[in-house]
Amino acid sequence: MEPRFSGEAPRPARYHGRMSGLGHHLRMLSDLAFSLGPAHAARHKLQHAWHRVVAAPQEPYKLTTKEAAFPLWCRPGTSDETVFWQVFVDLQYAPLIPRRTPHFILDCGANVGYTSSYFLTRFPTARVFAVEPDPGNAALLRRNLAPYGRRSAVFETGVWSRPVGLVMSSTPFRDGGEWARQVREARADETPQMLATDIPSLIEASGEPRVGILKMDIEGAETEVFSADCSGWIPRVDAFVVEVHDDTAARTFEAALGPSDFDISHHGEVTVAIRRRRGRR
């Protein structure tokens, strides 16, 4: 399969702002048809209606899209539905156009695997390491990435600045949904739920000389990661796509990258940083 997005990014779905009644549903269906294809869009709407009205609310159902090589599982009534829309309808990661074809991709904060699936389809020769700390999300992540076989590996832990004991935070972050699970360092009187990983450890485990794409959406922990000394691993990354969750995180991330090595742009919720060619300033 040839990469679907060589040359230039696909046109993102049109804005689906607040509308009401029939106009709202027609606009949503139009966006779905553009990004998923008419058949996939119709199936998506039927599946969504079925699982909202008829099926057991806890039963995952399959979604299909032309942007993913295999069907994807979705938990009805959860943030999975919103994440699917962001990745496959709004094409949140389409503005990322690496200057070289990535062979290894790190998906930090992989949630249920939609972004990993998108990248595995978009770059059919790449491998993905997907990292996700929440057990419920990680279970569906494994299910969604299983069809890709040895091209993907799942790590059920949190990404931090160093290996340290972590626990899942009980304090709601953002809307408190499944896509907003946070970790924090375990206190001295707590038993850690997991041992954190860090970027150097993931690169070492991959056996790859470079990271083609480092995607990061780790619910505020990006400040912890980029506040540490990153000089040993940032030179091995060709492109970043990071969701920063506050101004401090944004400043920390851009400071870690340095003033001249990357072209940085902002697209909705994500910041894209592409390594410049040598000799360009």
Q: Edge-to-edge, what's the strand order for the sheet holding 183-185? A: 183-185, 165-168, 194-195
**196 plus 148 within the same structural domain:** yes
3-class SS of residue 270: strand
- Please tell me whether residue 155 adopts helix, strand or coil conformation: strand
Q: Is the same domain home to 55 and 146?
A: no
Say if residues 63 and 87 touch (Cβ distance below 8 Å). no
CA distance 38 to 40: 6
pLDDT of residue 58: 73
**Domain check: are 195 and 117 in the same one?**
yes
Would residue 10 count as lying in a domain? no
Whether residues 172 and 62 share a domain: the answer is: no
Q: What is the pLDDT of residue 31?
A: 56
pLDDT of residue 245: 82
Is residue 9 domain-resident?
no
Q: What is the CATH number of the domain that holds 117?
A: 3.40.50.150
Domain for residue 97, yes or no? yes
In a domain, 257, yes or no: yes
CB contact at 8 A, 32 and 41: yes
- In-domain check, residue 13: no
Q: Is residue 82 part of a domain?
A: no
Same domain, 41 and 158: no
Instruction: Tell me the residue length of the chain.
Output: 281
Domain-located, residue 85: no
Kindly state whether residues 164 and 64 are assigned to the same domain: no
Question: For residues 159 and 154, what is the distance between their CA atoms, to the nearest angstrom?
Answer: 13
Q: Which residues contact 73 (CB under 8 A, 6 or more apart)?
A: 60, 61, 62, 63, 112, 140, 143, 144
102 and 73 both lie in a single domain: no
> Are 115 and 248 in a shared domain?
yes
Contact 154, 139 (CB under 8 A): no
pLDDT of residue 112: 96
Distance between CA atoms of 15 and 28, rounded to whole angstroms?
Answer: 9
Q: Is 87 exposed, middle or buried (0-12, 13-18, 19+ CB in 10 A)?
A: buried
Determine, yes or no, domain membership for 116: yes
Amino acid identity of residue 10, one-letter, is P
> What pLDDT shows up at residue 22?
42
Count Cβ neighbours within 10 Å for each residue of 153-170 and write b for 16 or more, e otherwise. Answer: bbbbbbbbbeebbbbeee
Domain with 177, as residue range(s), is 92-275
245 lies in the same domain as 191? yes
Query: Please, what sign has the CA dihedral across residues 76, 80, 85, 87?
Result: negative
β-strand pairing of 61-63 with 72-74: antiparallel
Same domain, 122 and 222: yes
Q: Are 97 and 42 contained in the same domain? A: no
H or E stretch at 195: strand 194-195
Q: What is the pTM of this model?
A: 0.80
From first to last of the 281 residues of the chain, give the pLDDT tens digit: 333 323 333 333 333 333 344 444 445 545 555 555 655 555 555 555 555 555 555 789 999 999 999 999 999 889 899 999 999 999 999 999 999 999 999 999 999 999 999 999 999 999 999 999 999 999 999 999 999 999 999 999 999 999 999 998 877 556 556 766 888 999 999 999 999 999 999 999 999 999 999 999 997 789 999 999 999 999 999 999 999 988 999 999 999 998 778 999 999 889 999 999 764 44
What CA–CA distance (Å, rounded) separates 219 from 197? 16
Q: CA 184 → CA 14, 89, 130, 166, 224, distances in Å?
A: 37, 32, 19, 5, 10
In the prediction, which pLDDT does 30 show?
56
Q: What is the pLDDT of residue 229?
A: 95
Which residues does residue 194 pair with via DSSP β-bridges, in sequence order?
Answer: 166
What span, in angstroms and rounded, lies between the C-alpha atoms of 89 and 201? 33
174 and 234 share one domain = yes
- State the Cα–Cα distance between residues 9 and 1, nearest whole angstrom: 18
Our count of domains for the chain comes to 2
